[in-house]
Structure 1
Amino acid sequence: MAITIKGRGSGGDAVMAPRSRSVLAIQDGTVQATALEAGKFFPQTTGGHSDPAFHEDTPNSAPPADGKIASAGNPGAAQLDRTDIEWAKHQVVSGEVLDVTWSFTVLRTVRRFNYFLTNADWDPTLPLARSQFEDKPFHTVENTQRPFWNYQSELAAQSPTTHSIPLPQRTDHQVLLAVCEIADTGTALYQVIDLSFDS
């Protein structure tokens, strides 16, 4: 029986290419996922923080806890956090430019997209935690119009949205965390993509 993920958001906002864990789970029928939303400003651990660059934006809600990053802390999507599943991996090469494509079905006022990668020596047998990721995103796409209420059309997420991101040096299985931060709410969309780096 399929599991329905009921979050604060609705619709199918997700990374469609390379397919994220949530998209794979939808396609194999184990999860019927809406947007996986939690507080923005990962790797922050608490809510109530203002954006240091855009103080007019809505302060953040609490980001997902360690071990619940792939599910964005949504109990109905908890299987996305499991370490005993052999997740399908997208084949990549260090230094290549990877096209990441988001699909949006709900109007979003997007401030930025942050892309994080697991550390070179991360342990895939452990739940995804902040300590498994680099402290800072290796790639960011930011919309700088302010205040957000005067630029609703400029900040509106386009579907599809594709970013070409240069990949750092890595080997073997790594996890790409894509976070889409929303200007007019305290939340972000969380998507996890499994990559396999050719040696």
Structure 2
Amino acid sequence: MIKQHSLLSPQLTKIALISSLFIAQGVMAHGYVSSPESRSYKCKLGHNTNCGPVQWEPQSVEGLDRYSESGPADGKIASAGLSQFSQLDEQTATRWHKSSIKPGPNKFSWHFTANHTTRDWRYFITKSDWNPNQALTRSSFEAIPFCAIDGNQSRPPVDVTHDCNVPERSGYHVILAVWDVGDTVNSFYQAIDVNISGKGNPDPDIPDAQWQDIGDLNPTMNLQSGDMVKARFFNKDGEQANLTTSITINSPQEGQKNNWPHLLATEINNQHKSLAAGQLGKDGKVVPAMGQNNIYALKTSDIRRAEVQIVKDQKPDPQVNVGGLKDSYVIQSNEANVDFTLTSTEKLTVDYIVFDKNNAQVAFGSTAVNNSTESVIINIKNAKPGNYTLVLKTKAFSLVQQTYEFKLVNDSTDPGDDGKDGQYDYSFPEGVSNYKAGTKVIQPKNGKIYQCKPFPYSGYCKQWTSTSNNFEPGVGSHWKMAWDEK
């Protein structure tokens, strides 16, 4: 007998087992920087927009460990080299929302959705002369971390906070927080966008003025001509209506989502001395930017919060007239064609969905209507007799929904129907409390019609619940005591 040998040497087998263990455990380890909020966490909070899938899982920015000796490639550091999170690698002076911090002692907090044995945490900061409009590379950051915390190869609590001294900087910088997991080959990368307060004098009329971030101007959507955007300001007593600043969109170009925030920020800066909107530079000046802008108030001001309100120009709802929709349609060869017309004086797309009596979707589609009347035929396959609901939805300036009900009935001329006339009072179990001697119902489960027997058996006809169906026509164990098949 020939003895079979493993294709792997004992050493390779051991390595394979260890690698499998690392992979299995690595999937479990996840976390993000919760304060000051990291770039990915701000995506989840909505402070950063157009982030892609990282908004759902800021804890999953995981790549190879031991930055900067290895780790993600230059230009892909913020995403940890993961293509699904590549939006995080965009880098301009105005792309990301920033947290305001000061040099010196600061607290950095992590939240772990799956805490794990830890080697260490390390924090790197961009150099004083870094270019915020270039992709993040190793040359963007100081080579030595300004803060390093030993993990002692132990599992941290779900939330952990580190005390770190941030170097002297001024203006916009990126802090790269790296969590080196202790028993896998991966690390978690969190880019943190910060404004570090300097000693600049943003307004010569206000000595030693300093700004505090009180809100955001986010490029959330494109606007239409006639729409209005307001910046509203609040102190501890409530809204200060006299400070409200607004713009009205005059053209589609002004309404582009990267344009109108710049216009509103400019208007805020023109109208106010103690309020500003834009990006805070190293010189302490706040300059409006395309896309995302921060809203600031002087620390000497009592304003503590700003909100942005979009007021849509109220245009009339799109009108779609439905014609020719019947109360009932006939089932033929297990199919039914529901036909009707749609008429509109506008260019619209009308979406439709058909639901059966159990609210299961049985058909859907859409039809374009351009200042015309269009015929629609909805084919329902495997059709069953009973009640149905048609939902029409139209979106132009606003969403308009219309709902209609109709029935499907068996074809009385269908040979397979055994000559039944297809007429009935209810589709079982609808109206069950009203059943009496002579009541006719159609049983959707088999398409047959049953008539409630005369007294004294008619009382059984209404004795039905979803958990007690002994007298259910054609189905229950004692249905013949209550019903006659027609």
> What's the TM-score, normalizing by structure 2?
0.33
Q: Distance in 1 between matches of 2:39 and 2:103?
A: 21
Where has structure 1 moved over 4 Å in runs of 4 or more? none
Structure 1, 10-19 or 178-187: larger mean CA deviation: 10-19
Alignment length (residue pairs): 165
Alignment partner of 1:77 is 2:85:
yes
Q: Is the 8 A contact 2:29 2:116 kept in 1?
A: no
Q: Which residue of 2 aligns with 1:186?
A: 185
| Fraction of identical pairs, as percent | 33
C-alpha distance 99-166 of structure 1, shift in aligned 2 (>3 A)? same
Q: Distance in 2 between matches of 1:66 and 1:170?
A: 23
* 1:2-151 equivalences in 2 (<5 Å): 9=27, 13-28=31-46, 30=51, 31-33=55-57, 34-45=59-70, 63-84=71-92, 86-95=95-104, 97-144=105-152, 148=153
Q: Distance in 1 between matches of 2:80 and 2:28?
A: 14
For residues 65-122 of structure 1, what are the alpha-carbon distances to aligned partners after superposition, in whole Å with 9 as ceiling and x for unaligned?
A: 1011111011111111102452111112222x11111001113110100000001100
Structure 1, 32-41 or 124-133: larger mean CA deviation: 32-41
Residue 176 of structure 1 aligns to a residue whose secondary structure is strand
Residue 110 of structure 2 aligns to a residue whose secondary structure is strand
For residues 23-50 of structure 1, what are the alpha-carbon distances to aligned partners after superposition, in whole Å with 9 as ceiling and x for unaligned?
A: 01122274212421111111113xxxxx
For residues 137-193 of structure 1, what are the alpha-carbon distances to aligned partners after superposition, in whole Å with 9 as ceiling and x for unaligned?
A: 11100134xxx5xxxxxx002111000111101111111000010111011110010
Write the letter of the residue equivalent to 1:15: V
Q: Distance in 1 between matches of 2:124 and 2:166?
A: 10
Q: Is the 8 A contact 2:63 2:81 kept in 1?
A: yes
Structure 1, 84-93 or 12-21: larger mean CA deviation: 84-93
Alignment partner of 1:173 is 2:172:
yes
Higher relative CO (Cα under 8 Å, sequence separation at least 6) belongs to: 1
Q: Distance in 1 between matches of 2:83 and 2:173?
A: 24
Q: Distance in 2 between matches of 1:128 and 1:110?
A: 26
Q: Which residue of 1 aligns with 2:215?
A: none
Q: Distance in 2 between matches of 1:194 and 1:109?
A: 27
Q: Which residue of 2 aligns with 1:54?
A: none
Residue 25 of structure 1 aligns to a residue whose secondary structure is helix
Write the letter of the residue equivalent to 2:120: R
Write the letter of the residue equivalent to 1:76: Q
Write the letter of the residue equivalent to 2:146: F
Residue 105 of structure 1 aligns to a residue whose secondary structure is strand
Q: Is the 8 A contact 1:10 1:35 kept in 2?
A: no
Q: Distance in 2 between matches of 1:136 and 1:157?
A: 24
Q: Distance in 2 between matches of 1:90 and 1:167?
A: 14
Write the letter of the residue equivalent to 1:187: N
Q: Distance in 1 between matches of 2:151 and 2:192?
A: 23
Q: Distance in 1 between matches of 2:166 and 2:95?
A: 22
Q: Distance in 1 between matches of 2:131 and 2:151?
A: 34
CA RMSD between the two structures: 1.7
Write the letter of the residue equivalent to 2:69: Q
Write the letter of the residue equivalent to 1:127: A
User: Of the two, which has the highest radius of gyration?
Assistant: 2
Write the letter of the residue equivalent to 1:118: T
Q: Is the 8 A contact 1:9 1:37 kept in 2?
A: no
Q: Distance in 1 between matches of 2:67 and 2:40?
A: 19
C-alpha distance 10-71 of structure 1, shift in aligned 2 (>3 A)? farther
Write the letter of the residue equivalent to 2:114: V
Q: Which residue of 2 aligns with 1:49?
A: none
Q: Distance in 1 between matches of 2:123 and 2:159?
A: 17
Q: Distance in 1 between matches of 2:180 and 2:76?
A: 18
Q: Distance in 2 between matches of 1:156 and 1:11?
A: 11
C-alpha distance 11-24 of structure 1, shift in aligned 2 (>3 A)? farther
Q: Is the 8 A contact 2:30 2:188 kept in 1?
A: no
Q: Which residue of 2 aligns with 1:59?
A: none
